[in-house]
Chains A and B, each alone.
Chain A
């Protein structure tokens, strides 16, 4: 995992609508990056659905929630529509998993990111991280609120 206190590596990835989004676009705001294995997996669906339920409370604390996986932006669009969520999803598609690798979240033998949360502060510095023990488990939303408290 990337270390707390270091400058978060910048990146530019396509969102679910194919638009380029850079980490630097969020400068001046806090952002919680949610690395997850892949669109349409049962656990990923549960994770993003649960976070959607408390997204207003997360945003009240001045934090943007952003999901990242190795899926294409077309898949992200369909996944968002299926779940009925409005969280921004970024496509770490080509080179595959490059951003996840930069954050120490990529699992080489599985070909996708582990479930990882990375809180980046207003100055672009990594303020907090969490890595699930395995891709089958995801952190409850309480873990996010603990990090923000």
Chain B
């Protein structure tokens, strides 16, 4: 059984999705169906330094999230991860399958491979690994932003 007890977030690894360069940077656990993440994504990208995206889809809150994260991961296999993430956050009203195919074509992806990859077992496992690392770190809402292993930003609400 998967261990979901408390643990620090994993250090940045070779298969993390990393944008930018430098020693300093942030790690964000984000949900591609989350409107708050869409707003934060724009601001995070305006910062200098490295930004790491980790998957945190909450299906019951955003039913399309699993499909969107799988699409981003499949685009990433063809080198277009961040193009897909940027596009999904920039145009949140167009997230059905035909819209994903349209994006894949626009980014010059092999559509058959994109389709196969987004449904592949390994894609789901990759997303689940990020999600579970967020659960273990106590992520309780998105976006959750970490500087090194320290949680530095969450949304604050009354109740």
Q: Residues of A with Cβ closer than 8 Å to B?
A: 37-38, 41-50, 52-54, 57, 60-61, 83-85, 134-143, 145-146, 149
> Are A57 and B159 in contact, CB atoms less than 8 angstroms apart?
no
The number of chain B residues with a CB under 8 A from chain A is 24
Q: Is the CB of B135 within 8 A of A49?
A: no
Residues of chain B with a CB closer than 8 A to A136's CB = 156-159
B157 x A83 contact (CB < 8 A): no
Known: A46-B61, A46-B141, A146-B6. 6 other contacts (CB 8 A): A50-B140, A52-B59, A53-B59, A54-B4, A142-B138, A143-B6
Give the residues in chain B near A134, CB-CB below 8 Å: 159
Name the CB-closest residue of A to B59. A53
A140 B135 Cβ-Cβ under 8 A: yes
A64 smallest CB distance to B (angstroms):
17
Which residues of chain B are near A135, meaning CB under 8 Å?
Answer: 158-159
A38 proximity list for chain B (CB < 8 A): 159
B58 part of interface (Cβ distance < 8 Å): yes
Beta-carbon contact of A138 and B140 below 8 Å: yes
Asked if residues A83 and B140 are in contact (CB atoms below 8 Å), the reply is no
What residue of chain A has the Cβ atom nearest to residue B139's Cβ? A140
Asked if A43 contacts B159 (CB within 8 A), the reply is yes
Docked-complex contact B60 and A139, CB < 8 angstroms:
no
- Chain B positions within 8 Å of A, measured between CB atoms, are 1-7, 58-61, 63, 131, 135-141, 156-159
Residue in B4, B156, B159 whose beta carbon sits within 8 Å of that of A145 in the complex: B4
- The majority secondary structure among interface residues of chain A is helix
> In the complex, which residues of chain B have a beta carbon less than 8 angstroms from the beta carbon of A44?
159
Q: Given known contacts A57-B2, A83-B61, A146-B5, is B135 in contact with A46 (CB within 8 Å)? A: no
Report the minimal beta-carbon distance from B157 to chain A, rounded to whole angstroms: 5
Q: Report the minimum CB–CB distance from A76 to chain B (whole Å).
A: 15
Check A45 against B61 for contact (C-beta < 8 Å): yes
Do A139 and B131 contact each other (CB < 8 Å), given the known contacts A44-B159, A84-B63? Answer: no
Q: Which of B1, B5, B61, B131 has a CB less than 8 Å from the CB of A49?
A: B61
Q: How far is the CB of B65 from chain A (nearest CB, A)?
A: 10
Tell me which residues across on chain A come within 8 A of B6, comparing CB atoms. Answer: 142-143, 145-146
Could you tell me if A43 and B157 are in contact, using CB atoms closer than 8 angstroms?
yes
Interfacial chain A residues near B131, Cβ < 8 Å? 53
Contacts of B1 in A (CB 8 A): 57, 60-61
Contact of A140 among B2, B60, B140 (CB under 8 A): B140
Separation of A130 and B156 alpha carbons in the complex (Å): 20
Query: Could you say which residues of chain B place their CB within 8 Å of the CB of A137?
Result: 140
The docked-state distance in angstroms from the alpha carbon of A134 to that of B157 is 10
Interface-centre pick from B139, B158, B159 (highest chain A CB count, 10 A): B159
| B154 (CB) vs chain A CBs: closest residue | A137
Contacts of A84 in B (CB 8 A): 59-60, 63
